[in-house]
Amino acid sequence: MLTVVAMDQHKYHHPNSSHHKKRQSAYQREGDDGERGHYKSKHFKPSHHQQYHSGSNPVSSRGLSTRRELYERDFPVYKQPVEVGSFSLDSRRRFFNDARQLRYYVEPDKEPNFDLRDGYKDRFIKRDDSVKEKLDHILRWILANRSKLSSKSAENKSCALDVDFVTWRGHLTKLLTTPYEAREGWLLAVTRFRDTLYISEVETEAARRERENRTGRHEEMMYWGYKFEQYTCADTVHSSPDPGGVVNTNEAFCTVVQTRLADHRLLFSGEVDCRDKDPNAPGPPACYIELKTSAEICTPKQRSNFHRFKLLKWWAQSFLPGVPRVVAGFRDHDGVVVSVETFPISKISHLIKNEQNCWKPTVCMNFCCDFLSFVKQTVTEDDPSVVYLFSYEPHRDVTYSLHRDSQYSFLPQWYMEEITRSQDSHSQS
């Protein structure tokens, strides 16, 4: 039995409680006011069968507003996420349909003095991040676990999976934080295949330039987070962390969860750092722990920035899969962890209450929900060679473009063949 974790007023939804709320949508047509960023801010009323692209509005000129005010309504239904499986990626990035890479959290001293720079030069194997894996690992997991997902209802033959969306948790995190994101845009490729929508990120030009031009200092600081994991995680329940070992960022343990946001059935996977080693801890995902490092906070300005920017990202990332706590290592300028603090996800919205103009969980969730509705309505062609590319640039609407047989197509042949083969044999029986 899964217990429902209290998440402040942003609780996960109990399957049995009925929650009636007015539903609104922040779609708007870009052409309406003649220019971007200026809207009539009409909140469309609900009906999901409403056609937004009727009349003379060309499909290519429509967008989804990212203005925060449009999303300040009741918190949408978000079901308690359920782990339906997990997988591991080994030191060579090979896929395993099991939890072999799951590690166990070992609580450090409150002031541990971990040196995060140790091993950067000689005990670090870095994943090649120019290799784009797209959704491949999740798709492998799906093929290996079809029985847990296939549609049981006879009338639902065209939908191979019985979920509306398949994606990485990290892509959803980006959606949650979009109304507050003033620096980085994103590109999300979406394909409809057998009535499931697959969402896979495409690296923006700006992100590619940044990746290719990182300073030595930045490269080293990216290592610090992984080094902190090594100081606090053990490979087995009874062993201790091994700070003398090699840090290899190819290795990963990923949970696969199923949940629902309003009427969107979601299947996504996210990397999990470690779990509580207490055998009496609740089952996954409630036993999972997210590890973070952050610069130590010395001034009120730094505290405010931490609340406004860091806690938003931490909350969004862990709330999605139902990971209940973040353990943060605060480090100084030289990469020494000077203090460690636990942040329960359910308490984060209290912590930010006194911050002026701060982010709101409900805005994040409602924006994500409306984006997914926008995608459902837009991505109508059920064809793996067709990609709808959704684009966000800070302070702009989300817009999209359509691409046939392009560089953006991302569902691999092996996946489509297997889904088609098993589905056809299903419908014959």
Residues that bind ligand 0WD (CB under 6 A): 89, 127, 129, 132-133, 168-170, 173, 225, 249, 252, 270-271, 292, 317
Whose Cβ is closer to ligand 0WD: residue 62's or residue 292's?
292
Parallel, antiparallel, or unpaired: how do β-strands 114-115 and 82-89 relate?
Answer: unpaired
Whose Cβ is closer to Ca ion: residue 323's or residue 364's?
323
CB of 274 to Ca ion, least distance (A): 9
Binding mask 262-301 for Ca ion (x = CB under 5 A): -----------x-----------------x----------
Helix (H/G/I), strand (E/B), else coil: 427 = helix
Give the span between the Cα atoms of 139 and 160, in whole angstroms: 13
Helix (H/G/I), strand (E/B), else coil: 304 = helix
Could you tell me which of 71, 107, 81 has the C-alpha nearest to residue 7? 81
- Angle CA(352)–CA(357)–CA(361) in degrees, nearest 5? 55
Residue 234 is inside which H or E element, if any? strand 233-234
Whose Cβ is closer to Ca ion: residue 66's or residue 293's?
293
Block residue for tokens 């450090």: 108
CB of 314 to Ca ion, least distance (A): 9
Under the binding rule (CB under 5 A), the answer on residue 252 touching Ca ion is no
CB of 294 to ligand 0WD, least distance (A): 10
* Cα distances (angstroms) measured from residue 333 to each of 117, 217, 314, 327: 11, 11, 21, 19
Whose Cβ is closer to ligand 0WD: residue 26's or residue 316's?
316
**Encoded amino acid at 296, one letter:** E
Whose Cβ is closer to ligand 0WD: residue 163's or residue 252's?
252
Residue 379 near which of Ca ion, ligand 0WD, none (CB within 5-8 Å, type-dependent): none
Token pair listed for 170: 């990290």
Whose Cβ is closer to Ca ion: residue 268's or residue 390's?
268
Residue 242 near which of ligand 0WD, Ca ion, none (CB within 5-8 Å, type-dependent): none
Under the binding rule (CB under 5 A), the answer on residue 7 touching Ca ion is no
CB of 317 to ligand 0WD, least distance (A): 5
53-60, long-range: CB < 8 A, 24+ apart: 57/29, 57/31, 58/31, 59/378, 60/401, 60/402
Whose Cβ is closer to ligand 0WD: residue 65's or residue 318's?
318
Dihedral (Cα; 150, 155, 158, 163), 10-degree rounding: -50
Give the number of residues in contact with Ca ion, rule: CB under 5 A.
2
Angle between helices 169-177 and 311-319 (to 10 degrees): 130
Residue 351 is inside which H or E element, if any? helix 348-351
Q: Closest-CB residue for ligand 0WD?
A: 170
Residue 275 near which of ligand 0WD, Ca ion, none (CB within 5-8 Å, type-dependent): none
CB of 83 to ligand 0WD, least distance (A): 14
**Encoded amino acid at 391, one letter:** S
β strands within 169-224, DSSP E:
186-193, 196-202
Whose Cβ is closer to Ca ion: residue 202's or residue 233's?
233
**Other Cβ atoms closer than 10 A to 34:** 7
Residue 169 near which of Ca ion, ligand 0WD, none (CB within 5-8 Å, type-dependent): ligand 0WD
Residue 162 near which of ligand 0WD, Ca ion, none (CB within 5-8 Å, type-dependent): none
Residue 252 near which of ligand 0WD, Ca ion, none (CB within 5-8 Å, type-dependent): ligand 0WD
Residue 129 near which of ligand 0WD, Ca ion, none (CB within 5-8 Å, type-dependent): ligand 0WD
CB of 271 to Ca ion, least distance (A): 8
278-295 in b/e form (b: 16+ CB < 10 A) is eeeeeebbbbbbbbbbbe
CB of 246 to Ca ion, least distance (A): 18
Whose Cβ is closer to ligand 0WD: residue 190's or residue 252's?
252
Site residues for Ca ion per CB under 5 A? 273, 291
